[in-house]
């Protein structure tokens, strides 16, 4: 099997989908569907074996997988994934936002889950190869993008609990608009009761399925309480704010400072989180990464010392949080609407992503 070294140019052999969606069908499917439910015409793939390393790089028609029912991923969840977006600029060009950061996190997540890290240049080459045939799937309307979902799965049929000796890399693409069905409006969050997302030494820092699977029951409970998202507290003290089901969280204070939970190994190190911090600090704003007790947040919202809360992530971008709910607690944040700083940081970030503002940080990478 072909093996890569960093100096070798990586090439994905492209076999075009013989029955791609027609222009009309693609337009119909791209029109306001729920997040992550529409797929482009192709998949990029690569295969890893213990003997040969990474090889068999290819782009082929999007299709279901053939997977042995005993595959490690199905039984023991040996998998990791990423999320990043391709943005269409007004001049038609297609750009990625900090893809090398996602590549690095993908490799770090893989290492934690005893999967072979995909080299960064391979990650980027697969995206370029997929976009070379699926560029038409990058939408052009405001707030839309092509969400890219890289995935590594253990495919070996083996019920022994040990790392898979065969691994498949898959890159799929889904045209998306806003993550939340009601668009970019303030969301309400429910504080998880008796459930934690991650513990010390666990997999909280890795982008792996189990973290998200474990968030679904608390997320259902959030919905039962009329909330859009669940907020997790730390597992040791059940007191400190960590993150939402699939996004990081920030608090804006009346004194102008901004707080966000520090990363401790249990919190996903969001690329959007990092970018928001850099933009705010670049403005001279005090951004404090620290432990945030829920009690302090609650009192701050009640007294007006905390004026805004927002969530951020690739999918959610920057989403205002209008309400914080727990048993015997139902607080409106600020006036319940999108706060001024939340709106401005969302605007700053998306202006860079869509090429409406200069890319002073060198975050954007043109692919097509
Ligand atoms: C993302 O923001 O890209 C995520 O992965 C969050 C969620 C859709 C799982």
Interval 49-96: pLDDT, tens: 999 999 999 999 999 999 999 999 999 999 999 999 999 999 999 999
Residue 291 maps to a domain: yes
Inside any domain, residue 2: no
Residue 281 lies in a domain: yes
In this structure, is residue 5 part of a structural domain? no
Is residue 182 domain-resident? no
Q: Final residue of a domain: which of 148, 176, 204?
A: 176
Task: Write the secondary structure of the chain as one string of H (helix), E (strand) and C (coil).
Answer: CCCCCCCCCCCCEECCCCCCCCHHHHHHHHCCCCCCCCCCCEEEEEEEECCCEEEEEEEEECCCCCCCCCEHHHHHCCEEECCEEEEECCCCCEEEECHHHHHHHHHHHHHHCCCCCCCHHHHHHHHHHHHHHHHHHCCCCCCCEEEEEEEEEECCECCCCCCCCEEEEEEEEEEECCCCCCCCCCEEEEECCCCCCCCCCCCCCCCCHHHHHHHHHHHHHHHHCCCCEEEEECCCCCCEEEEECCCEEEEEECCCCEEEECCCCCCCCCHHHHHHHHHHHHCCCCEEEECCEHHHHHHHHHHCCEEEEEEEECCCEEEEEEEEEECCEEEECCCCCCCHHHHHHHHHHHHHHCCCCCCCCCCEEECC
Pocket-testing residue among 180, 205, 211, 313, ligand 1, by greatest number of atoms within 8 A of Cβ: 313
Distance 9 CA to ligand 1 centre (A): 30
Is residue 134 domain-shared with residue 230, that is, in the same domain? no
Identify whether residues 93 and 220 lie together within a single domain. Answer: no
Closest residue by CA, ligand 1 atom 6 = 246
Same domain flag for 108 and 213: no
For residue 315, the ligand 1 atom closest to its alpha carbon is 2
Which CATH number do you get for residue 310? 3.20.10.10
133, 238: one domain: no
Q: Identify the domain containing residue 347 by its residue range.
A: 187-353
**Nearest Cα to Cα of residue 174 among 21, 38, 60:** 38
The number of the ligand 1 atom at minimal distance from the alpha carbon of 314 is 2
Same structural domain for residues 131 and 77? yes
Query: What pLDDT, on the 0 to 100 scale, is given for residue 4?
Result: 42
Rounded to the nearest 10°, the torsion over CA 32, 36, 40, 45 is: 170
Q: Are residues 250 and 273 in the same domain?
A: yes
Any domain includes 7 = no
270 pocket-lining for ligand 1 (C-beta < 6 Å): no
Q: Is the CB of 246 under 6 A from ligand 1?
A: yes
Assess whether 144 and 258 both reside in one domain.
Answer: no
What's the pLDDT score for residue 3? 43
Separation of CA 314 and ligand 1 centre (Å) = 6
**CB-ligand 1 contact for 204 (6 Å cutoff):** no
Q: pLDDT per residue over 9-45, tens digit each?
A: 589 999 999 999 999 999 999 998 899 999 999 999 9
Shared domain for 191 and 171, answered yes or no, is no
Residues 6+ apart with CB under 8 A from 119: 4, 6, 54, 107
Does 230 share its domain with 104? no
Atom 8 (ligand 1): residue with closest C-alpha?
315
Residues 163 and 21 in one domain: yes
Predicted pLDDT at 9: 56
The reply to whether ligand 1 has any atom less than 6 angstroms from the CB of 177 is: no
Alpha carbons within 13 angstroms on the beta-carbon side of residue 34 total 2
pLDDT at position 210 is 97
Q: Are residues 129 and 268 in the same domain?
A: no
Query: Does the predicted model carry a pTM greater than 0.85?
Result: yes
In a domain, 362, yes or no: no
Specify the number of domains making up the chain.
2
Is 365 inside a domain boundary? Answer: no
Q: Which of 176, 202, 224 is the last residue of a domain?
A: 176
Regions in the chain scoring below 70 on pLDDT: 1-9
- Domain closes at, from 122, 157, 176: 176
Which CATH number characterizes residue 132's domain? 3.30.470.10
> Ligand 1 centre from 247 Cα, in Å?
7
Instruction: Check residue 32 and give its pLDDT.
Output: 81
Q: Are residues 139 and 48 in the same domain?
A: yes
């Amino acid at each position: 099997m072909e093996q890569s070294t960093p100096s070798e140019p990586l090439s994905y052999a492209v076999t075009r989908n013989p029955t791609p969606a027609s222009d009309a069908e693609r337009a119909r499917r791209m029109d306001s569907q729920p997040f992550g439910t529409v797929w482009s015409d192709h998949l990029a793939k690569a295969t890893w074996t213990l003997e040969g390393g990474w090889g068999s790089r290819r782009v082929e028609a999007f299709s279901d997988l053939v997977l042995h029912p005993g595959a490690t991923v199905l039984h023991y969840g040996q998998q990791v994934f990423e999320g990043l977006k391709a943005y269409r600029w007004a001049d038609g060009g297609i750009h990625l936002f900090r893809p090398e950061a996602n590549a690095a996190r993908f490799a770090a997540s893989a290492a934690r889950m005893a999967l072979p890290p995909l080299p960064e240049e391979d990650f980027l080459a697969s995206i370029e190869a997929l976009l070379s045939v699926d560029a038409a799937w990058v939408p052009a309307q405001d707030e839309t993008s092509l969400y890219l979902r890289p995935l590594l799965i253990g495919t070996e049929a083996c019920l022994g609990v040990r790392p898979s000796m065969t691994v498949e890399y898959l890159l799929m693409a889904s045209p998306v608009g806003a993550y939340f069905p009601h668009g970019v409006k303030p969301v309400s969050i429910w504080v998880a009761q008796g459930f934690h997302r991650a513990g010390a030494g666990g997999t909280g820092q890795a982008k792996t399925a189990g973290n998200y699977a474990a968030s679904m029951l608390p997320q259902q409970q959030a919905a039962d309480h009329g909330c859009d998202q669940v907020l997790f507290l730390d597992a040791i003290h059940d007191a400190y704010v960590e993150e939402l089901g699939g996004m990081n969280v920030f608090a804006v204070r009346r004194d102008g400072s901004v707080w966000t939970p520090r990363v401790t190994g249990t919190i996903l190190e969001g690329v959007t989180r990092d970018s928001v911090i850099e933009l705010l600090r670049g403005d001279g704003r005090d951004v404090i990464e620290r432990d945030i007790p829920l009690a302090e947040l609650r009192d701050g919202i009640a007294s007006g010392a905390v004026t805004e809360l927002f969530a951020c992530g690739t999918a959610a971008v920057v989403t205002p949080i209008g309400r914080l709910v727990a048993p015997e607690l139902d607080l409106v944040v600020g006036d319940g609407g999108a706060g001024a700083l939340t709106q401005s940081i969302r605007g700053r970030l998306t202006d860079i992503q869509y090429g409406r503002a200069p890319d002073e940080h060198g975050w954007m990478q043109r692919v097509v």
